[in-house]
A and B are shown apart, each in its own frame.
Chain A
Amino acid sequence: MTTATTSIIGDLAVETDGLVKTFGATRAVDGVNLAIPRGSVYGVLGPNGAGKTTTIRILATLLRPDGGSARVLGRDVVREAAAVRKLVSLTGQFASVDTDLTAEENLLLLGYLLGFSRRAARRRADELLAAFGLAGAARDQAARLSGGMRRKLDLAASIVVAPDLLFLDEPTTGLDPRSRSALWETVRGIVADGTTVLLTTQYLDEADKLADRIAVIDHGRVIAAGTRGELKASAGSVGIRIRLLDPAHRDRARDLIAGPQVVVGDEPDPAVISARVPAQQRPEAAGQLAAHALGLLAGAGIGVSDFALAQPSLDEVFLALTGQTAPEPPEQPEPPEPPEQPQSASAGAEAAR
């Protein structure tokens, strides 16, 4: 998917030009340019303190930029802030619901504010609680929900009226792996309903799994942007792994394939060799390398049992772009999360009524 960025303004969900925001001497956002097409998940990836949250707060009309301009769905975030607010919804980095109120009350309050009648707000709250698996916890104070459930409530609260553009600021930070994948599924469902999602994350796997297009941001600037494939092709190195029928042929195979553009190495498995084309190659380079290498091996009569193309991981991209490794997503739910559907005393009592 290649989208011309400036010619079709109407198709852009977000367009920023040289966006700047300073806090004292810190340039939190230092000339951010973004062109985010409608109808997709756009990931803004960067380490802590890169300027992701500040950018989102400007786009959600919570902060005024000190320089540059930003348009959300064609409206200027400063001059037409009220129009922007009608079309967007924000789920902040921490709970964006009132933790003193129950899950149900939070949804009712937002329903009233958005203009639903009491009956319509009630119907919508029930519908969302059921769809997000929160019906059993409807009467529980949000503060008492598990991290995963509170995040679900956050998302439900964001779509009481489905927005055209949804901002999700680090939606899965602090969640265990199972809650993360459940949340990703929910986000995909929201996108399928026609909402554009702008997601910030510091986790590469999250951007990889969820985002159609990604901008990598560091020190307040966008340092790379494109589809996953484009990013990988631009910064990583592509390669292949070949498993030989006979490990005894490995030395000969290695000498055959090695060349000025190709770095060949041995893998721990004695039957496997790997070949890489260093960075800054086109995406199709891996395929060409494979055809070239397999042709040479066949010509020399060396049997191959299987081979695989290896795209670089976003980790490599991130490292190449920012000079630092990305944080690891949580491996183990620790401390153990409460069960997803806690039947608390009050919820149980409600059900029994």
Chain B
Amino acid sequence: MTTVSRQQRPVPAGPAAASLAFAWRSLLKIKHVPEQLGDVIGIPVLFTLLFTYLFGGALAGSTHGYLQFLLPGTLALAVVFVTVYSGVTLNADLATGAFDRFRSMPVWRPAPIIGALIGDIGRYLLAAAIVIGLGLAMGYRPGGGAAGVLAATALVVLFASALSWAWITLGLLLRSPNAVMSIGFVILFPLTFMSNIFVDPATMPGWLRGISDVNPVSHLVTATRALLAGTATTAQVLWPVAAAAALIALFAPLAALLYRRK
């Protein structure tokens, strides 16, 4: 046995450095298991193509006209859908021996979760880039130009990161990754479809319109449309930002509590 020199014990990484180390771990996992990006690539491509060509003729008379209306919604829809995998991945990760090791180490407790979330933000940016790239190729023209695209992407990714805390909470609460995915989609479908993503809520029955009007996803889509068109008002942008803040204020402490009690 070659004895390994006994180390001077360094001061463990602080919260930021530890979170970044875990973010690096997320990136390495994507590098070594690239197929885990299947959902991040598949969902945006599918939603953009499918909904444009499926509904375009019926709802707006032409796919081109519908794309101008739909694409901001697709951007929000695709990125919001991808968020559920934060909870699914965390739930699977919690069961591994590696996670046990992390939790028995002298690092800031939430660092593995924050680090994974930083990695997820990279995935959300990728999903957003796919929707916008495909949209541009199909003929979508944002009136707000590059600045509008960047601002809209930032808003959608901010909202998605906030919503991730809900799935992280679910991931800490439920027993299996499959359960997280099932319940996540059961919540996501009404949350995204009962909104102004696909059609003008004016065409909906009153009760559904009421739901759509208070749905934070509707506010997100309204602001995204306006940012992409270059017509956004401060109030339009503040609504989804406030919704994101509320999601974080509700779910981040809940997740922290559940994580401590694990």
Residues of A within 8 A of B (CB): 57, 60-62, 82, 85-86, 88-102, 105, 109-110, 112-116, 120, 124, 127-128, 130-131, 141, 157, 159-162, 185-186, 188-189, 192-194
In the complex the two chains form, is B21's CB within 8 Å of A96's CB? no
Chain B residue nearest to A187 (CB atoms) is: B1
Chain A residue nearest to B2 (CB atoms) is: A131
Give min CB distance, B204 to chain A, whole Å.
45
Interface of B is mostly: loop
Chain B residue nearest to A85 (CB atoms) is: B106
In the complex the two chains form, is B25's CB within 8 Å of A193's CB? no
Contact of B98 among A95, A102, A127, A131 (CB under 8 A): A95
Give min CB distance, B69 to chain A, whole Å.
41
In the complex the two chains form, is B12's CB within 8 Å of A96's CB? no
Asked if B54 is at the interface (CB within 8 A of a chain A CB), the reply is no
Give min CB distance, B194 to chain A, whole Å.
37
Whether A105 contacts B28 in the complex (CB less than 8 A), given A82-B106, A131-B2, A194-B6, comes out as: yes
Asked if B10 is at the interface (CB within 8 A of a chain A CB), the reply is yes
State the CA gap A112–B108 with chains docked (Å). Answer: 13
A96 / chain B contacts, CB cutoff of 8 Å: 97-98, 100-101
Contact of B10 among A60, A114, A185 (CB under 8 A): A114
> For chain B, which range describes its interface: under 10, 10 to 19, 20 to 34, or 35 or more residues?
20 to 34
State the CA gap A115–B18 with chains docked (Å). Answer: 9
A185 / chain B contacts, CB cutoff of 8 Å: 1
A114 / chain B contacts, CB cutoff of 8 Å: 10, 12-13, 105-106
In the complex the two chains form, is A112's CB within 8 Å of B1's CB? no
Give min CB distance, B161 to chain A, whole Å.
23
In the complex the two chains form, is B12's CB within 8 Å of A115's CB? yes
Asked if B24 is at the interface (CB within 8 A of a chain A CB), the reply is yes
Asked if B233 is at the interface (CB within 8 A of a chain A CB), the reply is no
In the complex the two chains form, is B10's CB within 8 Å of A131's CB? no
Contact of A101 among B6, B28, B100, B106 (CB under 8 A): B28
Query: Which of A82, A115, A116, A185 has the largest number of chain B CB atoms within 10 A?
Result: A115
Contact of A97 among B28, B98, B107 (CB under 8 A): B98
B1-39 contacts to A, CB under 8 A, are 1-7, 9-13, 17-18, 21, 24-25, 28-29, 32-33
Whether A101 contacts B10 in the complex (CB less than 8 A), given A94-B97, A114-B105, comes out as: no
State the CA gap A52–B107 with chains docked (Å). Answer: 26
A109 / chain B contacts, CB cutoff of 8 Å: 21, 24-25
Asked if B104 is at the interface (CB within 8 A of a chain A CB), the reply is yes
In the complex the two chains form, is A90's CB within 8 Å of B101's CB? yes
